[in-house]
Amino acid sequence: MNIDTSKIVVGGGSAGGNLAAAVALMARDRGGPHICYQMLIYPALDDRADTQSMSAGTDTYVITSQNTLDMWNYYLDSDRTNVPCYAAPSRASDLSGLPPAYIMTCEQDPLRDEAIIYAMRLMETGVPVELHNYPGTVHGFDYLIPSDISKRAIRNELIMFRNAVRNNH
């Protein structure tokens, strides 16, 4: 297929952000393939759902904290005593050696804080992170209704993707 395997970027929004983070972890732990960048767009990363934004997200637009808890129960079942980090990336004890990341969060999203915490943990291990929190926005805002802020968010996502591929972190 003539793919340049030095320029693999993984990314996704919401549950797709969970899968992208898990792929980055698994590629690191299994010695490949090399991932040059990860794009985590309002990702679901932590099944424990114990952040302030999750507590405050009982009546948020698009998804609520209850929707998120339901999602985790469907995905992992209700017994979460031994959840692997490949299912809930925030459970990884070591985030070092992961590819650089672009992480986008929304102010009025129950998932906001877990993504910010994950970004901070990545930075603590020396992983370069570009973190964007969009004020006044909700989960999925960038594709819900065309607006100046949604256009800006999409433009930023595309710029970060292009830069990742060009710069080949």
Would you state the structure tokens that stand for residue 31, as one six-digit string?
A: 């010695």
Catalytic annotation, pick one of 46, 109, 113, 142: 109
Catalytic annotation, pick one of 14, 53, 65, 90: 14
Catalytic annotation, pick one of 47, 53, 65, 139: 139
139 catalytic per annotation:
yes
14 catalytic per annotation:
yes
Q: For 92-97, which contacts have Cβ atoms below 8 Å and span 24 or more sequence positions?
A: 92/25, 94/125, 95/121, 95/122, 95/124, 95/125, 95/127, 96/125, 96/126, 96/127, 97/28, 97/125, 97/127
* Active site (catalytic) residues: 14, 109, 139
